[in-house]
Amino acid sequence: MYGIVNIAIVSLRAEPTHRAELVTQMLFGEAYSIVEEAPGWLKVRTADCGYEGWMDRRLHNPLHEKDADDYLRADKYVVSDYLLFIQTFDTRITFPIYIGSSFPRPKDGILILGNSIFTVELPEEKPLAPVVGLSPKQAKLMRFAAAYLQAPYLWGGRSPAGIDCSGFAQIAFKSIGIALPRDASQQVLCGSTVDFVEESRPGDLAFFENENGDITHVGIVCGPRKIIHASAKVRIDTLDSTGIFCEEEKSYSHTLRIIKRMID
């Protein structure tokens, strides 16, 4: 059984109760499969990265199995504005969806997601001005990531209303068509190693470790000695061979483990 998110956000929890830990969120247009059921709850696996968690059964929007493969293979439009307002086709209810949401391009303004139909007017797409020293992918990634500045930190979050470090990295790279795993400990296995901080470039991912050597944090290199990351809020701090130096606290907040290149 498959489903597809037809509201702004669906939260996934560690256990089938609203009191359980938030493990991640699915955004509008993201698909999932059902792996287990409990009274009032469904355990689902996200289609993009295979992450599992429990969702409220009342939020399930079925996607017929015969349509699932076509939907997963279809090219998607990724929302790059902070909010995009769409409307339900039958009840004419207008509601916002967040940056990072994705769906096939509407046909004549009509979008069908499983059992749900919407009217969608996409914003006019304007060519992005080139940025000196950056490839088009790097420039697009940097612009997209900057839209989250000041977004509050939320463990398990994946929206500008609340986002964690690995969710931020995952959504940012989704904007340029690169699918990353959900957690920093999984993301660090991707890409190629950058040997020195001085050799890093915008779009590289920097990973940080705790006292036990476990990967616990990730951020996106955004310039010479600069990193954008989610820590208390999405912010830009100083990066060097030691780690992240927070100018506000005048101290290091994270210890650097490795830098990985995700964009060729």
**DSSP assignments along 56-112, one per residue:** EGGG--EE-HHHHHHHHHS--EE--SSEEEEEETTT--EEEEETT-EEPPPBTTEEE
Asked, colleague to colleague, whether 2-119 and 136-261 share their fold, the answer is: no
Amino acid code (one letter) for 45: R
Q: Judge whether 62 and 33 are in contact, CB under 8 Å.
A: no
Question: What pLDDT is attached to residue 126?
Answer: 79
**HSE on the CB side for 134, CA within 13 Å?**
20
Tens of pLDDT along the chain (264 residues) come to 999 999 999 999 999 999 999 999 999 999 999 999 999 999 999 999 999 999 999 999 999 888 898 999 999 999 999 999 999 999 999 999 999 999 999 999 999 999 999 999 999 887 777 788 899 999 999 999 999 999 999 999 999 999 999 999 999 999 999 999 999 999 999 999 999 999 999 999 999 999 999 999 999 999 999 999 999 999 999 999 999 999 888 999 999 999 999 998
Three-state SS across 230-241? EECEEEEEEECC
CB burial of residue 75 (10 Å; 0-12, 13-18, 19+): exposed
Question: What pLDDT is attached to residue 238?
Answer: 97
Question: What pLDDT is attached to residue 128?
Answer: 75
Question: What pLDDT is attached to residue 127?
Answer: 78
What does DSSP assign to residue 253?
E
What residues does 41 pair with on adjacent strands? 38, 56
Question: What pLDDT is attached to residue 85?
Answer: 98
Residue 246's φ and ψ, nearest 5 degrees, are -90, 115
Q: What is the CATH number that goes with domain 136-261?
A: 3.90.1720.10
Q: Judge whether 168 and 148 are in contact, CB under 8 Å.
A: yes
Assign domain 2-119 to its CATH superfamily. Answer: SH3 Domains (2.30.30.40)
pTM (two decimals): 0.95
Where are the domains positioned within the chain?
Answer: 2-119, 136-261
